[in-house]
Amino acid sequence: MSTKFVLNETSYFGKGAREELAVEIEKRGFKKIFLVSDKSLVEAGVTAKVEEVLNNSNIAYDLYDEIKPNPTIKNVLDGVEACRNSGADLIVAVGGGSSIDTAKGISIIMTNPERSDVKSLNGASNTINRGMPLIALPTTAGTAAEVTINYVITDEEAEIKMVCVDPNDIPIIAIVDSELMASMPKSLAAATGMDALTHAVEGYITKAHNEMSDMFHMKAIKMIFKYLASAVNEKDPEAIEMMGLAQYIAGMGFSNVGLGIVHSMAHQLGAVYDTPHGIANAMLLPTVMRFNGEDPATAQRFREILINIGRPDAKDLNDQDVINTFVWMISELSKAVGITTTIKDYGAKEEDFEMLAEKAMNDPCKPGNPRDVSKEDFIELFGKAM
């Protein structure tokens, strides 16, 4: 039985890597850029750092920045119309998951107009054509959208987050420039860093994990435990650069093997209460890992992680102590970067748990979880996360 692994074509890393954007555009013969970002990045002057590269090389572009933190179907469709009107032949996305995910949706519909309802892109997609060429420059160290085949769009009417999985959406180039990440406020750096940790941990224990994905996820976990607190609390330049690399490495893994029910639950909090995705993951991760750890094979995977993040004594611990230690280390890291909230703080109510559980049961990330989960399990887990 073969194992399929999909990675993007070209990536650049390091301070100032954004300068490679103009080189690649000119080398590939693109003439007009549709620049996708969000208003907060435009106002903070982050997008301007990329615009400067384009202006210095006299590369024409139009800017689209009508994007919500949890991007919607309307954001995508408005972007498609603006992209068509611009006459661009390349999309350049600057931002976190919101901007890059929106750009992916625009990219796909530009070349697959029959899917312009957007809703039909939910889940494992069967689009025919490769999306319009896309170059992604992440400004957050978390989502790894620049290297994955996934993007998430909110259906506001149905109050669900659509997880679109499509190899045709992967950017042709990723440019991971730590200088674009350096201006992240502490709260965002913390949330996106815990998002990256969730990707790496869930990817390491998912049913579809393999030797290749294990390599990526373990490396990412080790780097995040080492560098996240310094990147957030001290804004240490090396730590920021390493976090940019760590989240990318995690993305190469989970993009190919999937995630689990932390994401199944987090997507519902984002869709219903507009909870920031990274915060939702951080709040849910300890609770869900305790649930998953009851599976002996998963407890053994936790043991492997502990040994690699500075707890060699884990080899001699019983399974329950392994679970307790791993969950404690995750919780301590979350506290160290200032995330101490619960889902109640973001509006979750007990009377909503059944509705949230029903939505989580249909989330595309659920099948990858190492333990089977029922609607009743989800209700109980939401309760524990309060």
- At 125 the pLDDT is 83
Alpha-carbon distance 370 to 364, whole Å?
Answer: 14
Alpha-carbon distance 300 to 349, whole Å?
Answer: 34
Alpha-carbon distance 244 to 200, whole Å?
Answer: 14
Q: Which residues pair with 161 in a beta bridge?
A: 154
Contacts of residue 227, defined as CB under 8 A and 6 or more positions apart, other chains included, come to: 236, 238, 239, 242, 243, 246
- At 2 the pLDDT is 83
CA angle 311, 235, 68 (to 5 degrees): 100
- At 279 the pLDDT is 94
Per residue of the chain (386 residues), give pLDDT as tens.
788 898 888 999 999 999 999 999 999 999 999 999 999 999 999 999 999 999 999 999 999 999 988 899 999 999 999 999 999 999 999 999 899 999 999 999 999 999 999 999 998 888 999 999 999 999 999 899 999 999 999 999 988 999 999 999 999 999 999 999 998 899 999 999 999 999 999 999 999 999 999 999 999 999 999 999 999 999 999 999 999 999 999 999 999 999 999 999 999 999 999 999 999 999 999 999 999 999 999 999 999 999 999 999 999 999 999 999 999 999 999 999 999 999 999 999 999 999 999 999 999 999 999 999 999 999 999 999 98
Give me the sheet containing 150-155, strands edge to edge. 123-124, 160-165, 150-155
CB 164 within 8 A of CB 125: yes
Give pTM, 2 decimals.
0.94
- At 126 the pLDDT is 86
- The DSSP element (H or E) to which 252 belongs, if any, is helix 237-257
Instruction: Calculate helix-pair angle for 277-292, 261-273, nearest 10 degrees.
Output: 140
Give the chain's length.
Answer: 386
CA angle 14, 19, 25 (to 5 degrees): 125
- At 265 the pLDDT is 97
60-63, long-range: CB within 8 Å, 24+ apart, which pairs?
60/31, 60/32, 60/33, 61/32, 61/33, 61/34, 61/35, 61/88, 61/92, 62/32, 62/33, 62/34, 62/35, 62/86, 62/88, 63/35, 63/37
Domains along the chain? 10-181 (3.40.50.1970), 186-385 (1.20.1090.10)
